[in-house]
Amino acid sequence: MTQTSPLSPLLTDLYQLTMMQGYFFSGLHEQQATFDLYFRRLPFEGGYAVWAGLENVLDWLEGLQFSAADLDYLASLGQFRPEFLSALREWRFSCEVTAFLEGSVVFPHEPLLTVRGPLWEAQLVETALLNMLNFQTLVATKAARCVLAAQVGGGTVLEFGARRAQGPDGAVSAARAAFVGGAVGTSNVEAGRRFGLPVSGTHAHAWVESFPSELDAFRAYAQLYPDSTTLLLDTIDTLESGLPNALTVAAELRAKGHELSGVRLDSGDLAYLSRVIRARLDAAGFPGVKIVASNDLSESVIAGVIAEGGRVDVYGVGTQLATAGGPGGGALGGVYKLAELNGRPRMKLTGDPAKSSLPGVKAVWRGAETGEGGDFAWDVLTLGETPHPGMRVSDPTNPLRSARLPAGLDWQPAREVVMRGGQRTRPAESLSALQARARQQLARLAPETRRLLNPHIYRVSLAPEVAQLRDQTAESLRQHV
């Protein structure tokens, strides 16, 4: 299940609506426009991003319409004329949308999603598309980095970030995106209900503090949940109190035909403590008890724990995941730019070449090494032509940096039409399917591109026809200055 609660078309910036009205009264609203959504810089100083949020976007676009209450509110602002508001009563989204499928690995400067249709329709949806896709792509990418770090030591990742997420909507969206990125579950019950995600949790320090002794607290919890008990060890003293009491309860559960599921660490030296706890659990005959760690984790902390010989089985990643914190995090700088209007190329021309947009209706091709599941090697933007060996392609931000495409790559379209006439062209996908796609695509990136520090830069290039159209359009704009 991927459906989210309905979102109003008023989830937008005011200027989208004032421009819509301007287009309407200028007779421009039905011009055929093409907008591209893309980002310029990878998050977390990494080598890839995991595309997330598309299914939510398609749900929203299919049901998009102005209610009577929406129109009454707009009328109350005093900026919108009755004729325009009347036209909005019958307004429906009818554009074509082309996109990478959710869960794909994506890179800077390539159009991740393209909207083609009447100008006022394509203009309105900009804010909501960026809101949903920027945030979820950012969190899914963070989750993938944490998951890849944990897998080195055979561990898994849970999303534990609701209490520090950016509000209720942020908490639910973060849990969904984290699952796409590879997390195996969440502590967020509402996200579990809404999306069918596995939910997981232990107890808080307050539980232990509410009983006469730590052992009493552990016994009470195990009595309630004999087949799913994970005990928090660090309320008093992790090794001298928490672990001995957990071993006592584990033995009592086994005597009654049950097994202790896990123990959790929420403070201290996670590498050292997990090594000691694993050894003592194994020595006591409980090798199946999992060690869960929390405590402000990130991909770098996870990698450090593993490098120091830690024995953590499950990492509960909270703040850093739900808020997408860390170097290069915080926000994904996705933008939405006009690329064509009534068949004429359009671009943003600026003094900073890296911020100029690319004109024209572009196709994105992905070249992979030949053979089943060959590594992804190169993405190329064209105006329709299939890339071929020997084609000289150029860097989107530096025309002087060019190369010829090698032989031996299998070129396939990287995107597909996911909406036509405002309706989906394919059935909605489950979150499990999206997670599986992300896992498969990440596995097809070279290890040097996946690594956490100083990754190799995956190549995204422009075909000669795209570079030529950019240069011609830029020159035409300069002549009118």
pLDDT band at 115 (very low <50, low <70, confident <90, very high): very high
Tens digits of residue pLDDT in 341-371: 999 999 998 777 678 899 999 999 999 998 8
The Cα–Cα gap between 25 and 137 comes to: 36
Within a domain: 292: yes
* Structural domain includes residue 232: yes
Mean pLDDT, the chain, rounded, equals: 95
Q: pTM score, two decimals? A: 0.95
Percentage, residues of the chain above pLDDT 90: 91
Q: Is residue 403 part of a domain?
A: no
Residue 199 lies in a domain: yes
Hey, is 73 helix, strand or coil? Answer: helix
Confidence band of 372 (pLDDT split at 50, 70, 90): confident
Q: Convert the pLDDT of each residue in 213-250 to its tens digit.
A: 999 999 999 999 999 999 999 999 999 999 999 999 99
Is 113's pLDDT higher than 70? yes
248 assigned to some structural domain = yes
Confidence at 399, pLDDT banded by 50, 70, 90: confident
Number of domains in the chain: 1
Let me know if residue 36 belongs to a domain: no
What is the average per-residue pLDDT within 178-193? 97
Q: Among 142-156, 240-254, 326-340, whose mean pLDDT is lowest? A: 326-340
pLDDT at 171 over 90: yes
Q: Select from 180, 162, 194, 182 the least CA-distant residue to 294.
A: 162
* Residue 2 pLDDT greater than 70, yes or no: no
State yes or no: pLDDT of 413 exceeds 70: yes
4 pLDDT band (50/70/90 cuts)?
very low
CATH number of the domain at 186, please.
Answer: 3.20.20.70
Q: pLDDT tens-digit profile of 22-81?
A: 999 999 999 999 999 999 999 999 999 999 999 999 999 999 999 999 999 999 999 999
Q: Has residue 393 got a pLDDT over 90?
A: yes
330 against 443, higher pLDDT: 443
Q: What is the DSSP string of 181-247?
A: TT--EES-HHHHHHH---B-----HHHHHTSSSHHHHHHHHHHH-TTS-EEE--SS-IIIIIHHHHH
Q: Does residue 410 lie within any of the structural domains?
A: no
Q: Tell me, what's the pLDDT at 1?
A: 38
Q: What is the pLDDT of residue 127?
A: 97
Average pLDDT over residues 150-171: 94
Distance in angstroms (rounded) separating the CA atoms of residues 458 and 442: 13
Cβ count within 10 A of residue 1 = 11
CA atoms within 13 A on the CB side of 343: 0
pLDDT tier, 328 (very low <50, low <70, confident <90, very high otherwise): confident
Model pLDDT, residue 481? 66
- Among 135, 129, 52, residue whose Cα is nearest residue 97: 129
Residue 465 predicted with pLDDT over 80:
yes
Give pLDDT tens digits for 291-319: 999 989 999 999 999 999 999 999 999 99
431 part of a folded domain: no
Q: Would you say 319 and 289 are in contact if contact means Cβ atoms under 8 Å apart? A: no
Q: Provide the residue range defining the domain that includes 303.
A: 142-322
